[in-house]
Amino acid sequence: MKRTIWMAVASLGFGAGALSAGNVGWRMDGTGRFPGVTAPLHWDKAECVVWKTPTPKWSNASPILVGDRIFICAEPDSLLCLNKLTGEILWQRSNSYADIAPEAGREEIRKKMAQVGERDKQINDLQGKLRQLEKTAKEKPDDADIQAAIATNKVEQNLRREERKAVQDYALPSTHGANGLTSCTPVTDGTRVFTFFGNGVAVAYDLEGKRLWARVVEKPTEGWGHSASPVLTEGRLVIQVRDVHGLDPASGETVWTAKSKPRWGACVGAVIDGQGVVITANGEIIRAKDGLVLASGLHGLEYCAPLVHEGVVYFIENGGKAFRLPAKADGTEKPELLWQTAPPKERYYASPLYHDGVIYCINQQRVYSIIDAQNGKVLKSETIKSLRQTAYPSVTLAGAYICLGAESGSAVFLEPGVEMKEVAASTIGSFRTTPVFENDRVYIRTLDAMICIRP
């Protein structure tokens, strides 16, 4: 495998003042900052577990909190609502191509979806047999029966492929096994919850589980899957798949489309001259209300999302750049490049954190870097030995401490600053999502459960 999918770190991020009241998504307010909480530091003590709810399937989507409810996802296309106090699953809705179709046509669509799977299996089986036949043919080049079997096999494969073409609209996009189809974190305005699945389906529900609308926006084409979470800003639900789409949240209809290309890192939101914009991992700045592209080609992030703070956007991966956003949102001014930097080269699945003039980031190999946000100087880089396996969860400020996590289920809390002083380390079930903190509790979506922990 030439590259591994960036997991569960696609972001919903907003600059200062950009987040409308009630809009929450990945990292809740989009900053990864929970400065007023009393963070539970010990996740592996049984007495600290308030509740633990097994989930029907795994997911890389992070939880979001809405009043007394939690919304999470589960493979391959489910949205779940849990009671925040007890962990009880209040409702679960699946969103396959059949589920979102008019009732009269659902059974026929299910049949066609099944036919896709059947044809794929038949083609794979035939390919396996063909490889064996061709191996035998090398050993027995003059065997006419082997040559005839090879010819018959190829004819059969062509027939199955033609049959598959008739139902290919019902085929699921390709994805990596560790990414799946539910790496997008939902977003809500407080009365409705929206999300996007790797099958190309965008949905809206009310908090009681009534589907308000659902549609295929665009099917992902990246072979390792899709993970860019939706953004809700300036009266638009913004979704990046191959292109960037601005949807009407009330109807799901596309208001505008801006040309782009697939990225695993999501758009983030900001405000320019009182107008909401989104900034893509491709380095485009797009006005949210109408899709006007204000700038492009600023920087390219393969896996993580840009970070916006007080009118500056930071791109940390493949080196790093910082740009001051233009004063006007009409395309007449270009962003100003402030600095470039070079933290350790690696994949940054985790999105970075801004805190007190410093940017904190961690790459997949658990190398934690501290960057001066004023000039881009890398102040320190060091491997966090308390973490094990790939660092997918994004960097989070949990009260007075910085929280880091890794796929093994290991988590560590550090004091901010270049000393990298470790305060506590814990282990919980394997997770790739970003934890959410509230008051004295942390909510963690592991691969097999949703967990609430308190000190």
Nearest to 182 by CA among 433, 442, 362: 433
pLDDT band at 30 (very low <50, low <70, confident <90, very high): confident
Are residues 227 and 251 in contact, defined by beta-carbon separation less than 8 angstroms? no
Model confidence pLDDT, tens digit, residues 213-232: 999 999 999 889 999 999 99
Average pLDDT rounded to a whole number, residues 390-408: 97
Which H or E element spans position 99? none
Confidence check: pLDDT of 297 > 80: yes
Model confidence pLDDT, tens digit, residues 134-191: 999 999 998 999 999 999 999 999 999 999 999 999 999 999 999 999 999 999 999 9
Instruction: Give the relative orientation of helices 144-165 and 106-139 as an angle to the nearest 10 degrees.
Output: 160
Alpha-carbon distances, residue 300 vs 197, 304, 393 (angstroms): 23, 10, 20
HEC-encoded secondary structure of 282-341: CCCEEECCCCCEEECCCCCCCCCCCEEECCEEEEECCCEEEEECCCCCCCCCCCEEEEEE
293 beta partners: 286
Report residue 347 CA to chain centroid gap. 15
Q: What is the pTM of this model?
A: 0.90
| Percent of the chain predicted with pLDDT > 70 | 95
Average pLDDT rounded to a whole number, residues 67-78: 97
pLDDT band at 1 (very low <50, low <70, confident <90, very high): very low
d(CA 236, CA 239): 9
User: What is the average pLDDT value for the chain, to the nearest integer?
Assistant: 92
pLDDT band at 11 (very low <50, low <70, confident <90, very high): very low
Q: How many CB atoms lie within 10 A of CB 366?
A: 22
Q: How high is the pLDDT of residue 27?
A: 81
Q: How high is the pLDDT of residue 26?
A: 84
Average pLDDT rounded to a whole number, residues 248-271: 94
Are residues 204 and 214 in contact, defined by beta-carbon separation less than 8 angstroms? yes
Confidence check: pLDDT of 260 > 60: yes
Query: Torsion-angle region of residue 110: left (phi > 0), alpha (psi -120 to 50) or beta?
Result: alpha
Model confidence pLDDT, tens digit, residues 322-336: 999 999 999 999 999
Are residues 307 and 359 in contact, defined by beta-carbon separation less than 8 angstroms? yes
Alpha-carbon distances, residue 140 vs 130, 131, 133, 308 (angstroms): 15, 14, 10, 65
Q: How high is the pLDDT of residue 382?
A: 96
Burial degree of 232 (CB within 10 A; 0-12, 13-18, 19+): buried
The encoded tokens of residue 433 equal: 């999502």
| Percent of the chain predicted with pLDDT > 90 | 89
What secondary structure letter does DSSP report for 154? H
Would you state the torsion angle of the CA atoms of residues 44, 181, 54, 81, taken in this order, to the nearest 10 degrees? 110
Are residues 360 and 338 in contact, defined by beta-carbon separation less than 8 angstroms? no
pLDDT band at 22 (very low <50, low <70, confident <90, very high): low
Confidence check: pLDDT of 395 > 60: yes
d(CA 228, CA 291): 18
Confidence check: pLDDT of 5 > 90: no
Q: How high is the pLDDT of residue 12?
A: 28
Q: How high is the pLDDT of residue 31?
A: 83
Q: How high is the pLDDT of residue 14?
A: 28
E strands, 146-210, where?
Answer: 187-188, 192-196, 201-206
Which H or E element spans position 234? none
Confidence check: pLDDT of 18 > 60: no
Helix (H, G, I), strand (E, B) or coil at 42: coil
Would you state the torsion angle of the CA atoms of residues 77, 82, 84, 87, taken in this order, to the nearest 10 degrees? -110
Sorted by sequence, the CB contacts under 8 Å of residue 383 that are 6+ apart come out as 365, 366, 367, 368
Q: How high is the pLDDT of residue 20?
A: 41
Confidence check: pLDDT of 341 > 50: yes
Alpha-carbon torsion (110, 115, 120, 121), positive or negative = positive
Would you state the torsion angle of the CA atoms of residues 198, 201, 292, 262, taken in this order, to the nearest 10 degrees? 20
Alpha-carbon distances, residue 286 vs 101, 253, 379 (angstroms): 32, 18, 32
Tokens 């009043």, residue?
67
Which H or E element spans position 117? helix 106-139
d(CA 19, CA 437): 18
100 beta partners: none
Confidence check: pLDDT of 23 > 90: no
Average pLDDT rounded to a whole number, residues 416-431: 95
Query: Torsion-angle region of residue 117: left (phi > 0), alpha (psi -120 to 50) or beta?
Result: alpha
Are residues 361 and 319 in contact, defined by beta-carbon separation less than 8 angstroms? no
Are residues 284 and 331 in contact, defined by beta-carbon separation less than 8 angstroms? no
Nearest to 371 by CA among 405, 434, 322: 322
Confidence check: pLDDT of 7 > 80: no
pLDDT band at 21 (very low <50, low <70, confident <90, very high): very low
Confidence check: pLDDT of 9 > 60: no
d(CA 25, CA 233): 11
Which of 4-18, 118-132, 250-264, 414-428 has the weakest average pLDDT?
A: 4-18
Average pLDDT rounded to a whole number, residues 3-29: 46
Confidence check: pLDDT of 4 > 80: no
Average pLDDT rounded to a whole number, residues 338-348: 93
Tokens 């658990």, residue?
366
Are residues 289 and 306 in contact, defined by beta-carbon separation less than 8 angstroms? no
Confidence check: pLDDT of 256 > 70: yes
